[in-house]
Amino acid sequence: MLGIKIIKVIAVFSVLIFSILMLKTISQYTSFDKNIGFLAFKQQVVGNPYWMTFFYIHIFSITLCLLAGLTQFSNRFLAENRDLHKIIGKIYIYNILIINVPACFVLGLFSNGGLIGITGFLIQDVLWAYFTVAAVLSIKKGNIIRHSNYMMLSYAVTTTAITFRIIKIFLYNETQHDYQLFYGLNVWAALLINLCIAYVMIRKNTGLPGKINGRKKNTKTEK
């Protein structure tokens, strides 16, 4: 259990740091200049008003999604703030299902990385929606363990953007790597790494190797 706690601390710290860095990066887009940052590499689509709309929707909402998800895995926070947990959980879920899943689907169709990158982003988007919906349905049925596990998987997909940037910072070398190929493979690497970490945490927490669904807790003993 100590190993899981260490992983959680490292994960929380990483998300906080990169969320702050993302806020700094996102702030440059408030000028709505179409030739700055990431947009400088997407000149073939910046003239598309639909793509640009979904781009701004995504970048201005994803940090809230990252920060909202952080509070959902603290047992102490859950025990002391059940009502707040539900409110933040709803913000996280609505943010994903209503805002970011549709936005990222459109953005994924025009992703860098060629077919590898596009396929990776679209699969991420489908898994993101599936895990989040499964988490909602699980808690509606009263299965807290299953809900927690699916939320962990959902958040694993949410944080692929962070893992993607970490890999790029430490491994990408523009003189040695083909940018499009590296980008596409990085999309897959970030997803697989995050899902593997979530799997390990689920396995340790539930004691059910390879399974998502745990037993339904007795609600009488929880009161």
Q: What is the DSSP string of 122-141?
A: HHHHHHHHHHHHHHHHHHHT
Provide the CA 30 distance to its chain's centre, in angstroms: 23
Question: For 53-100, what is each residue's pLDDT tens digit?
Answer: 999 999 999 888 888 877 766 677 777 888 888 899 999 999 999 999
Checking if the pLDDT of 16 tops 80, the result is no
Q: What percent of the chain has pLDDT over 70?
A: 87
The pLDDT value given to residue 80:
80
User: What is the rounded radius of gyration, in angstroms, for the C-alpha atoms of the chain?
Assistant: 18
pTM, rounded to two decimals: 0.84
Rounded Cα distance, 55 and 108, in Å: 10
- Spatial separation of the C-alpha atoms in residues 3 and 6, rounded to whole Å: 5
Residues 217, 222: Cα–Cα separation, whole Å = 8
Name the token pair of 147: 């809900």
For all residues of the chain together, what is the average pLDDT? 85
Q: Does residue 218 carry a pLDDT above 50? A: no
Q: Is the pLDDT of residue 223 over 80?
A: no
- 211 has a pLDDT exceeding 70: no
Residue 216 pLDDT exceeds 50 = no
pLDDT mean over 104-114: 94
